[in-house]
Structure 1
């Protein structure tokens, strides 16, 4: 008799990212689907990891993360956002931003709780909520600007609402939250038991002179929030799977109870290297200009195609509409582009639980210029 498993995620299959990446590999397509750079990370940072390993930093470090790294992250938060963060009580190093998000959800959620999620949403959010027995309450962002409808948020608050999830800069659309959004959020959660989970993995990838509205800027929000970050997005090393979470001391205490039994300790040598490299402020302060140049270059190239730009103000991504020239579903078009034109994208309907299709594709522009040129030249004659 075969063992019987009652799936906790019975509606979940292979993610669209895996599907499109496999399809891209099969057809030798340029992959502008999955969000990772194809240019090298810092040689200095690589050398610092090598140095740390050769100097014996190869065993467990502190469960909460290397103390020096946490101290320097606290100093960075103070410099950028004016936040007074206790590195011992409020910062935990994690194996990636997605892990931090999952751990925060698992720390808080009980069966029957409700979590407000804005769609399109990063694909891990809803499964992470459901695996904890909670219910995602889905609110679509206003298309095409992908802004939050705060009146609808107010109408969806119930006695079961346990958490609101925000993401800025936003994946997949590149939209960003403004100061007014943070004021609205602060008013909604004031005087409640609602917790905020803020996904800020693209904090340094924000364009057009816009200031990143981190929860760390807002003490009244931080006291009820988990704020999740990624070293991989900041330093072009997504395969490292290194991130961190900042929260209020009481929330972090509970976060660490879950963390200690899932991970216990993250890669020590990389933490040692990051603790030294983070002192080079220009590496993250110059990142927005560096990536905006790529966005602008890609946008200029795309003007020769029939696609219509939906402007991104942050992240690795820009979305493009095509409903004016094709009635295909976004998934159908994404597959056709991969097979017939040799360019892989991601259909934005994949970021909606019910597959809402506005006929929009997501493109990753965090690539070398030659890669972007090879991709777009294939689209110029698209019909």
Structure 2
């Protein structure tokens, strides 16, 4: 009898006729994620997988050793819901160094199971059914799916080549009395675009004028090549209306650890933590301890990371152009 492969089991065609697969209406339009599809095709054809955001090399030894030591030290039970104290402090230290902002590690930082959960907790904790949320397309697929779970109305504004500039006039027209938030991803996945200070200032002015929140996904902040990364929260008048989301995985090549965080003022953190409490409650305890060590890495680590990725970018661009692709610059 023929079967249909399912993530959890094999479903026969007879079983399908008797019990059709059902999904909540809020998720009916969404298929298997593009990352799953591309990874399966890469395995099937023995191809290089450029679809999913993980490297083909391992993370640094000093971070892995910190995790091993944490396990040996007995840090293996539930962590505090919003994060191990040492990690919250390390995130605050890193944010001050990178964005120039002093935040309260106890009241303004929430540790999550990867940035994807930070995104989900932010959306589910701060967005009401019927709220409008503006996205810049193309975008990471979890944005729209999670907004659908929250019952939000998505408005999409397309970034177009060659420079993928933010169409400010189009954004201005898209904002209405029902607009609750703008979700920004900088550096941007998948275009590689980084929002400029001028663009971010224009977006900030619109947000302040219209009382709109910003959800800022900054997981690639340390993979910036030619431009300075700017956190929207660092702009005048923006911290109080911004949730900044980041993670360990991209910067330290440890995507399987799923350690992320959300930084926001207390009145926004409350909603994020309420959702987080009922999504995962807490995140891996020993990995949090190791992440604290990672975030306190010397500046040389980040300099070398950028240098290595710039060399890899040059190889990739040369290879793509050699087989006929037109490659737009990434910042």
TM above 0.5: yes
Cα offset, 1:285, TM superposition: 4.4
- Cα distance in 1 for partners of 2:124, 2:160 equals 29
Tell me, yes or no, if the aligned pair for 1:198 and 1:226 is still in contact at 8 Å: yes
Residue 55 of structure 2 aligns to a residue in which SS? Answer: coil
1:242 aligned onto 2:268: no
Cα offset, 1:225, TM superposition: 1.0
- Cα distance in 2 for partners of 1:114, 1:164 equals 9
Residue 117 of structure 1 aligns to a residue in which SS? Answer: strand
- Stretches of structure 1 that go unaligned for 5 or more consecutive residues are 314-383
2:287 matched residue in structure 1: 270
Cα offset, 1:144, TM superposition: 2.6
Cα offset, 1:5, TM superposition: 5.2
Residue 316 of structure 2 aligns to a residue in which SS? Answer: helix
Bigger mean CA deviation after superposition, 148-157 or 293-302: 293-302
What do you get for the CA RMSD once the two structures are aligned? Answer: 1.6
The match for 1:10 among 20, 23, 28 is 28
- Cα distance in 1 for partners of 2:302, 2:233 equals 17
1:118 matched residue in structure 2: 136
Alignment of 1:368-383 (within 5 A): none
The match for 1:26 among 34, 38, 44 is 44
Residue 115 of structure 1 aligns to a residue in which SS? Answer: strand
1:57 aligned onto 2:94: no
1:90 aligned onto 2:108: yes
- Cα distance in 2 for partners of 1:5, 1:16 equals 18
- Cα distance in 1 for partners of 2:252, 2:69 equals 18
- Cα distance in 1 for partners of 2:23, 2:229 equals 44
Cα offset, 1:198, TM superposition: 0.5
TM-score, normalised with respect to structure 2: 0.90
Alignment of 1:322-341 (within 5 A): none
Cα offset, 1:291, TM superposition: 1.2
- Stretches of structure 2 that go unaligned for 5 or more consecutive residues are 1-17
Alignment of 1:304-343 (within 5 A): 304-313=322-331
2:148 matched residue in structure 1: 130
Tell me, yes or no, if the aligned pair for 2:252 and 2:294 is still in contact at 8 Å: no
Residues 277, 5 of structure 1: alpha-carbon distance in 2 compared, 3 angstrom cutoff: closer
Q: What do the CA deviations read for 1:2-60 (whole angstroms, capped 9, x no partner)? A: 59654321111111221121122122222222221001211121111111101100011
Relative to its length, the structure with more helix (as a share) is 2
- Cα distance in 1 for partners of 2:281, 2:176 equals 35
1:220 aligned onto 2:237: yes
2:185 matched residue in structure 1: 167
- Cα distance in 2 for partners of 1:34, 1:111 equals 31
The match for 2:166 among 144, 148, 160 is 148
Cα offset, 1:242, TM superposition: 0.9
Cα offset, 1:219, TM superposition: 4.5
Cα offset, 1:142, TM superposition: 2.6
TM-score, normalised with respect to structure 1: 0.78
Residue 310 of structure 1 aligns to a residue in which SS? Answer: coil
Cα offset, 1:281, TM superposition: 2.5
- Cα distance in 2 for partners of 1:118, 1:244 equals 22
Number of aligned residue pairs: 312
